[in-house]
A and B are shown apart, each in its own frame.
Chain A
């Protein structure tokens, strides 16, 4: 079945430490890939997206993600985490080719230790 997997439900990192949030997808073709962040009780903000081209994508707030076709992955990274990065992070995909429906992973909650 087609799916988006975020294996880590909750991650805790110290402020200043590096971060990697994992995302894997299971589709026949390469979908369009997105990372969103959600603060408590808020909507979603786009961090970055990948459609094609350079597999390393730069986003807002110092985030980047790398698309690896061989691993069907689109992991989100940040070299140095700030306390304000504490939030819920969602990986999402769109199948493309006329499909416009976002399918979300279950999310990873990030906690940051001062």
Chain B
């Protein structure tokens, strides 16, 4: 089946630094990538949607200059948290779908970001 590999699974960084999270589709072309943020014991909140080769569309309240999303290829999307602060600490999950299965969302295993 479709697999999305998300790395790193855990990362600790200092305040003010940037962190990059990668999601790769291993066996399909991810034409659309979704990035979610999940707070402890809460649901997934959509941050942004990106289509390959296009700029990401951010949800209301999400700072696009802080959460940089790149989807330059059909197999790779990245989320960069710039100038991270402790309040950015969270669980970030990506999800990908393809033209062949628009509603077949494949999720990465998530990244636990801790900003100290």
Contacts and interface: CB of A to CB of B under 8 A. Distances in A.
A32 B103 contact: yes
Contact of B6 (A43, A51, A101): A43
B105 A46 contact: yes
Interface in B67-116: 91, 93, 95, 97, 102-103, 105, 107-110, 112
B60 interface: no
The secondary-structure label for the interface of chain A is: strand
B32 interface: yes
A113 to B, nearest CB: 20
A90 interface: yes
The secondary-structure label for the interface of chain B is: strand
Interface string A88-100: 0010001000001
B68 to A, nearest CB: 20
15 contacts: A41-B9, A41-B91, A41-B112, A43-B4, A43-B6, A43-B108, A44-B95, A46-B105, A49-B103, A94-B103, A100-B49, A100-B97, A101-B49, A102-B95, A109-B41
Interface of A: 32, 34, 36, 41-46, 49, 51, 90, 94, 100-107, 109
4 interchain residue pairs of minimum CB distance: A43-B107, A44-B107, A43-B109, A104-B43
A44 B34 CA distance: 13
A102 B46 contact: yes
